[in-house]
Each structure stands twice: as structure tokens, then as C-alpha cells.
Structure 1
Amino acid sequence: MALFYNNQIELLKGIAIFQDLLEEDLHFIASHMRQITFKAGDILFQEGDPGEEMFVVIKGGVSVFIKDQEEQELVLTEVREGNYFGEMSIIEKSCRSATCRATEDTLLLALHADSFSKIIEVIPEAASSIMNRMLSIIVKRLMRTGAFITQMVQYGEESRKRAITDPATGLFNRRYLEESFEGLVAKAIGERQSLTFVMFDLDRFSTLNARYGQEFCDNLIVKASYVFREVFTKDDILIRYGGDEFIFIFPDTDKGKAQIKCDSLCEAMRNMKVEGHDELRLTCSMGFATLPEDATSPEELKDKADKALYMAKEKGRDRAMPWNG
């Protein structure tokens, strides 16, 4: 262990951001780093994971990549022995912008953001030197590969947006709901705000499908999405859950305000014109539940909104009903 520790110190001396530090400072930094081993093919972290550690490669190597819309991997960089990656995570604590995988059996040293805060507190001059060198190296990287990085960042953002967007309507999709709903509920509870969850169905959509065909009804869905945007505000979250099923989430909206919004949408749907089909009149049914008066958890909120939607259909459709259990 002592031999490995000494080798660890020597390795740190060769890393650009740790160069020219005092011996005792290097020992202090090394004592706050942990060893991690990975087998070839192991994933270190996924895109979107919390980023709170930077890594130094002692042995082996890793590949950093994103996936395109067809799930093909685009390698951004490969990091080998004696180099480091993830340095911005110990400062910004931002989510990972890419996925990292060991390309062979790999030994790393990891420095956690909390440990770096301790370094700043105890040896501030060394910490300042590290951050200045980080900044200088990052600037050089950007100057060398600025266009590529910009394109990759934009591509990553666009890829992420595509992954959570319904291609037909441009609204959020089911994946977005699954990934974000718990966080939205937790935020509302933490800030002591109301939040209303709405479930929406087009009335008798299967009958329309049988009569007019799938292509026609797909176009109806798109037209309906335009109406949603016209009725609701930019703060309202609009999600296509599947087929003619939609979810609307109204942040900071109590039951009374939610009823007004939903009633407005019912009216707008009745007035929606379909070119070449003057005989067609569309209606919709909605059920909704509101935090905190109706539920205290995401699942309870969904369940009560679903039951309210069932009640709206039982009452004759073409209406929006709150949970009144």
C-alpha cells in the first residue's frame, strides 16, 4: 500500500493540473482521493448522471461518448494513463454530458467535489493553482477543438431533446414524464406550491379511427396539439402519453384555476374545425387531481386523476372533472 501511495504521488506530479505543487500539498490531495477499478466494458457513469467527481487514470483507459438518435455511439475522446477527465464536475457539480466506459481493465483515482472543497479550505493556494491550470487547459482544448466541441454539445442537446419529444406533435413524450414527474412533484411539495396533473382523452377516438382511417386521425392529433398550445401557457407542461392520450401538468396551479384551463380546452376542442369535414365535431374528456389537497405522492396524483377521467366519461364525456373523492 505504501509503495502504491508513493507511486500515486509520483503520478500526480506528472498531471498538468497538479504540477509544481508542494510535496506536502500533494500528499494531502492524494489522501483525499479514492481508488476505483473497472473491468473492460464497465460503465463509469451515464449521460445525465450527477457529476461530483473528477478522475485520474492510473492504468488502462476510458472512452467518453454520446449516442445519436439511432443509438449509435459517437466517441468524443479517449483518456489514457496519466491523464484526467471530469474536472469540471468538482466545481460545477453538473450532470454528466456524456457516457464513460472503460476500454480495458482500468485503475482510477477519484476526487470528490466535497474533498476538493476541503482542499480549498486547508490549502487554498494549492487549490487556486489547480483551478487556474484547469482553466488554462480547458481554454486550450476549446481553441484546438472549438468547432467540434460546439457541434458535439449542440448535437448532445438536440439528441437529448429528441429523446424526450414526440416527433408528430413536438410535445414531450412518455419518457419525459417518467424521468421528470417525481422531480416536479418533489419541487412543488418543497416549495409548498400547488401542482395539477391532468389526464386527457379524445372522445370516441377508436370510432373516428375506424371511420376515417389512421392517417386522418394522426393528423387530428397534430391539429389538437396546436389547440393545446393556444389554450395553455408556456409554463404548462404538455405531454403525449400515447395515441390520443395526453398528460398536462400545471405547476403552481390550484384546483379552481385548473378547472378554468381545462374548461377552456373543452370549448376550444368543440370549436376546432377540420377542413373538408364540416360534419366532424371533436370533444374531449379530462380528469385531474391537485397537490397537496388530493395527493401527497406522484403515484397517488396519477391514480386520482385517472379515476377523475373515468368519472368524466361516465358522466357523458365532453367535460373536465376534478377528483372529488
Structure 2
Amino acid sequence: MYPTTYDNLLVFFSLAVAIFTSYTALNLAGRIATARGRIARLWLAGGACAMGAGIWSMHFIGMLAFSVPIPVGYDPEITLLSLLIAVAASGFALWLVTQSNLPYGRLACGALVMGIAVAGMHYTGMAAMQMTPAIQYDPLLLALSVVIAVGASGAALWITFHLRRQATRRPLAQMGAGVVMGVAITGMHYTGMAAAHFPAGSVCGAARGGIDTGWVALAIIVASVAALAVALIVSVLDMRLESRTAVLAASLAQANAELTFLALHDRLTQLPNRILLEDRLEQAIGSARQSRRRFALMYLDLDGFKAINDVFGHPVGDALLVEASKRLRGAARAEDTVARMGGDEFVLLAPGMEPTDAATLADTLVTLLSDSYLIDGQDLRVSASIGIACFPDDGDDPHTLVTHADAAMYHAKALGRNGYCFFETSMNADAREQLQLLHDLRLALSRGEFVLHYQPKLAAPGGPLLGAEALVRWAHPTRGLVMPDQFIPLAERTGTIVPIGEWVLDEACRQMAQWCSADPALASDWSIAVNLSTLQFGNPGLVECVRGTLARHGLEPRRLTLEITETTAMRDAAASLAILQELHAMGVRIAIDDFGTGYSSLLYLKRLPAAELKIDRGFVRDLEHDSEDAAIVSAIVALGQTLKLNIVAEGVETSEQQAFLTQLGCDALQGYLLGRPMPPAQFVETFLPTGMSLDRAASAE
């Protein structure tokens, strides 16, 4: 037998090519597994060619590393056949590992087919030498090489299948797998080479017309490595692009999910909004019809929220709404839907709930929502008014149920708030009346329908006239003159009280400036009093509004008295003190209205820059018959005198009240006995020409 030797450098290159081929195959398998349709087929074809060329290159370089002491060559056609076998085996392997699953039976069959194909490629390549006599093979080593080929193929298939989608996530694992696969494939090749024996005197039939081994080794190494490198780079870049695309797609899906959530939920409280509630309500109606069961729909409104929102600011108001929504969700059942309709209004949909259970739940919610809220160090309180409509008794469609629950809620407010009411048919008319009144109220200011009447304020006991209090009236085109108690609560609930209050301030200052211009001597000590609502007092632009109004009409600040209720002043005493001090520094007079009905802190009261206290008419009404009221009024007068404040008593309707209040030391009186609220023309006619006598004022009633 001829002695054989190996070129160690080429052996090393064959091993390197085998490892590089294996690593590239893992990347290509991952890319093919994620592609679809025509793109997947193109990747499979390209991957088969690149991987087959790599395996064949390793085999051919290994053969070139082998040398015998005779001229050697390779038949081109048989060599090309061995390459095609390698490409076909690679294509089959890549197809197999890119399937959705790889059970052990399929893995064994695939390993057998691919192992035989790889062995066939090797021994076909050996046959390309066309040795005479033929190469003799050691049967044991030959069989071992086939076994190694099958085993290496099985290992390669299993590793590739399990790492195909982890190319970018586990690069070290993929690199280790490539080394294992490359060593196994190389081991198979050199086991097969060890099985070959060349008898002495053998001649290579392809040595003359075949492929020359001198220059072809370097060409094959360069070409195969370049082809594999190109395939690997394209695969890695495409996989990274796909990974980034997948990240973008995931981000887009998440963004779409968030947009869908925002479209169906309230941004502040994360509760379902009106759109989602309508969908849930439709489902509840359909389910209730099929099962012939009832359900309850509750409409909730937070009483007093708007005052808190305007006085303490929107951040505090928002925090209160979030806390209220948490309490609602905590009290609701898992199958219930709690939705925010907007502002401070919520709806609770309770499928399968009977009226008796709805009443129990509503009572729980009223108690729960009326508990104090500690927000930004402020102890805040609101109450809840709840209207309840039941399916199918109170409506069999979403719009009717919501409308009727809303009407019942407004009825609960009318009954005193902090409670609940079930819908009754008679409430429909009231609800329509309230909606129409609200619609008209929102247009009244732009239509110029508001007017001011002026009630005189006289020095006790009967004059002279000190000024007047401006009282707003609504000259409704169809309802006639609407009194404040009929529309002011509605204006406060809807927030329209702020622009109405600004109009009252502007008109009162304009009228006062006009009177002063008409008769400066007679009106030298007059002042005009304007009431500020809680919302208007909490408006951040109040001070600038007052300053601008006075400047616009050229009215001296001392001519204007702003009246705020005791409750408003004490709601946030520190903030109230700051606002009142700004107004006082401007020269505006401050009056504390309805004194005695709230809960004042004398510590703050003595610091408020008030000029007068106004005794609430509730104490004056029964003054002659109620000793407790008389004692309270006496105490208020004494307190005011101690604080050096003017004391004004409202609601004086009898001469006995007039005499008693004057005797106690009240500085000024207001009431029907002294003069009813009247239009500005009548006020001038009654008081301006006469020196403001009590007899003329009383005769104007």
C-alpha cells in the first residue's frame, strides 16, 4: 500500500470551513423559519447552495490535504456530482429543521437520509480520482464513517431545529453548536479517509484530464469562505432587520392597544367611558332579555365637587375624582361596570341586580363617597346624589335607561342631595324642564336677558341711604322674571355662575358710576354691594377682574363692597385671607354675608380685612319670638363691635325688628320694610331726588 500523508494547514482550513458552514447553517435555518411564501423558498434555495458548497468545500479541502506519492487529479463531472449531492442534502436538512415540529421519528429518518447523502458525497468525491486498481476500503472504518455521518447529521438537525429562532438571542450557544457540528462533520470525513487504502502501483486516471490540485485548493478555500460569508452576512443583517421590524411591530401593536384603551376609557380615572358603557349596556340588555332578568343602572353625581375644583384647583379636583373612582370600583362587584360620563358624573351598571339590592348598594355608595378625602393635606368632603333606573321597568334601550337614571339623580339633588332615588314617570317632566332651563341659561348671558335689581341699605333705623345691594334677575322671554333661587343653584352646578357673576359685577359698577356722575353730592357716600359665589371667589382671575372692572367704569374702589358668605371665607381660610387682602389693598370693601350660619374661626376672622358683618335673615325672622335668636344676634353685634366692623342686618320686615336691631347697635338695615329690590330707574326715582327718606322708600313697595 502507498503511504499517505496530510497537509496540516489544509486540515485546519477544512475544520474551520466545517465550523463556519455549521454556524452559517444555523443562521440560515432561523431566517428560513421566520420567512413566508416565496421569500422562504428563495432563502431555502440560497441556503441549500451556500450550506452544500460549504460542506463540499470542507470535504474537497480535506481531500486536497491528503497526498499519496503519485500524481493525483479529479474528474470534473464526478466532482460536480458530489457537489450536487451536498447541495441536495443541505436543502433537505434545512427544509426539515424549518418545520413547525420535529418528532423523534422524523429526526431519525432525516438523520439517516442526510447521513447517507453526506457519506455518498464523500465517497463520490473519492471516486472522482478514478484510481486503478480501485481504492480498497476498510469495512469497519467505512461503516464507522457512515455511522458518524448519520450521528453527526442527527445532532446537526436537532441542534439547528432548537436554535433556529435564537440566533440573535443566544449567539454564544449558536457558536458552540457550530463548533460541535463542524467537528462532527470533519470527524466523519477523516474517518472515511482513514478507511481508504491505495495499493502499490495504483494510477490516478484523472491525473491528466482532471482538476489540478496545485492551485485549486486556495481557490476553493477563498470561494467557499466568501460564499458562506456573504450568506451569513445577508442572513444576520436580514435577521436583525426582521428583529427590529418585530420590535417596531410590537411597539405599534402596544400603541394600538393603548389607543384602543384610551378610546374606550377615561384618561384620568382609567374607568370605562361613555362609548364602552354603551357597548356594555347593549350587552346587558341582550343578556337580560334572554334570561328574563332585571338589572340596575345608577347615575351618580358628586355634590359640591365643582366648588372644590374651583377653589382648590384642578389638580386637587382630579385627585378627588381618582379617589372617588377607586371607592366606586371597590364597592362594585366583579361583573359590574363603573364608568365616568365626564366631570363629576359616574354610572354604575349592575347586571342581574334587583331593585332591593340596588337600594342597598346605593346606600353603601352614598356613605362611602361622603367620607372625607385627604388630598394634598386638605380634608375635603363631598356627597353623592344617585338616580336608579331598572331594566325593563324604566326603559328597554340604553338611551332611555341613562336618561331616566339621570332624571332620578336630579330628583335626588332636589330632595336635599346625599341620597338616592328610583326613577318615577313624573320625573320625566322635571328632567325635561331642568334640561330646557339649563339650555336657556347657557344662552341667557349672550342674549342679554339678565337684569339687576337694587335693594337699598339704610343707616339704622331709617336712613340716610348708604347704598344698595345688586341682585340679579333673569328676564326669561317666556317664563317672565325668574328669581335667583330658581336658576342660581343650576348655574353653580354647571359652572355658568362665574361668567354670570362677572357680568353682575360689571353692570353694578357701571350703574354705580352712572349714579355718581348724575348727582355727586347726593350719592357721595353711596356704595354698591355685589355677592360673590364660591366658584367666583375661587376663580384665579378674580382680583384682576375686579381691578379691570373698576378701571373700565372709573369707579372708586371704596364704592364697591364685595360680599362673601362665611362658609366661603372659611373653606380655605389661608387662601381666602390672601385674596381678601389683595382686594382690601386695592381699596375695595369686604363684607362677610350670612354671618352666624357657618363655622368661623375667630383666629382667622379677626385677621380678615372685612369692613362689615351681615346678620343672616334667618336670625332676624323670629327675633321677636325666639330668645335664642335674640341672644345670637346680640352676640354677633357685640363681636362685630369688638372687631370694629359695621353690622348690617338683613330681612328686616317689621318695625319691631327694626327697633330691636337698632337698639342692639346695628349700623345698617336691609329688608322689605325699608325697600324691596327694584329696577335702577325706580331706585333713582325713589331715593335720589328726596334725600332718601324712609317714608318714600316704604311707599315704593
The TM-score with structure 1 as length reference comes to 0.51
Q: 1:190 aligns with which of 270, 286, 290?
A: 290
Indicate the residue corresponding to 1:244 in structure 2: 344
In terms of fraction of residues, the more strand-rich structure is 1
1:287 aligns with 2:352: no
260, 264, 277: which one aligns with 2:378: 277
Which one-letter code corresponds to 1:269 in the other structure? L
The C-alpha deviation readout for 1:148-195, integer Å capped at 9, x for no partner, is 766655554443222111111110112212444333322222222212
Match of 1:164 in 2: 264
Moved more, 207-216 or 256-265: 207-216
C-alpha distance in 2 between matches for 1:154 and 1:273: 35
Which residue is 1:320 aligned to? 420
Which residue of structure 2 aligns with residue 200 of structure 1? Answer: 300
> In the alignment, is the contact (CA less than 8 A) between 2:336 and 2:351 conserved in 1?
yes
Distance 1:224 1:146, change over 3 A: same
**SS at 1:274 equivalent:** strand
> Equivalent residues in 2 for 1:82-93 (5 A)?
none
> Match of 1:245, as an amino acid?
E
In 1, Cα distance between equivalents of 2:311 and 2:373? 18
Picking from 329, 348, 354, the partner of 1:229 is 329
Q: CA deviation at 1:226?
A: 1.2
1:17-67, Cα deviation, whole Å (9 max, x unpaired): xxxxxxxxxxxxxxxxxxxxxxxxxxxxxxxxxxxxxxxxxxxxxxxxxxx
Alignment-mate amino acid for residue 331 of structure 2:
V
Q: Quick one: distance in 1 between partners of 2:359 and 2:251? A: 44
Aligned partner of 1:264 among 364, 367, 388: 364
Residue 261 of structure 1 aligns to a residue whose secondary structure is helix
User: Which of these two proteins has the greater Rg computed from alpha carbons?
Assistant: 2
User: Hey, what's the Cα distance between the residues in 2 that align with 1:248 and 1:300?
Assistant: 15
Q: Which residue of 2 aligns with 1:218?
A: 318
If asked which structure has higher relative contact order (CA below 8 Å, sep 6+), I would say: 1
RMSD value, Cα: 2.4
Aligned-pair identity (%): 31
Q: Which residue of 2 is the match for residue 61 of structure 1?
A: none
- The verdict on how the C-alpha distance between 1:215 and 1:190 changes in structure 2, with shifts beyond 3 A counting, is same
Q: Give the aligned residue type for 1:311.
A: H
Shift of 1:310: 1.3
Amino acid at match of 1:250: A
**Contact in 1 for aligned 2:274/2:341 (Cα 8 Å):** yes
Q: Scaled by the length of structure 2, what TM-score is found?
A: 0.25
Q: Where does structure 1 lack aligned partners over 5 or more consecutive residues?
A: 1-15, 17-142
Q: Which amino acid aligns with 1:163?
A: A
Provide closer, same or farther for how the CA distance between residues 152 and 214 of structure 1 changes in structure 2, counting only shifts above 3 A: closer
For residues 216 and 150 of structure 1, the distance between their equivalents in structure 2, rounded to whole angstroms, comes to 36
1:168 partner amino acid: L
Which amino acid in 1 is paired with 2:366? C
Q: Distance in 2 between matches of 1:181 and 1:164?
A: 14
Change (3 A) 1:283 1:172: same
Partner of 1:33: none
- Count of paired positions: 183
Task: Specify the SS of the correspondent of 1:169.
Answer: coil
Q: In structure 2, how many angstroms separate the alpha carbons of the residues matched to 1:215 and 1:193?
A: 42
Distance 1:296 1:175, change over 3 A: closer
Q: In structure 2, what is the Cα distance between the partners aligned to 1:223 and 1:302? A: 24
Q: 2 CA distance for matches of 1:302 and 1:162? A: 22
CA distance in 1, matches of 2:390, 2:296: 4
Q: Which residue of 1 aligns with 2:275?
A: 175
In the alignment, is the contact (CA less than 8 A) between 2:296 and 2:353 conserved in 1?
Answer: yes
Alignment of 1:102-141 (within 5 A): none
Structure 2: which amino acid aligns with 1:259?
Answer: A
Moved more, 150-159 or 256-265: 150-159
CA deviation string 1:81-114 (max 9, x = no partner):
xxxxxxxxxxxxxxxxxxxxxxxxxxxxxxxxxx
Give deviations 1:278-313, integer Å, cap 9, x for gaps.
Answer: 3x3221111010112222222221222111111100
- Write the distance in 1 (CA, Å) between the matches of 2:352 and 2:299: 17
| Distance in 1 (alpha carbons) for counterparts of 2:311 and 2:252 | 46
What secondary structure sits across from 2:265 in the alignment? Answer: coil
User: Unaligned regions of 5+ residues in structure 2, if any?
Assistant: 1-36, 38-241, 426-701
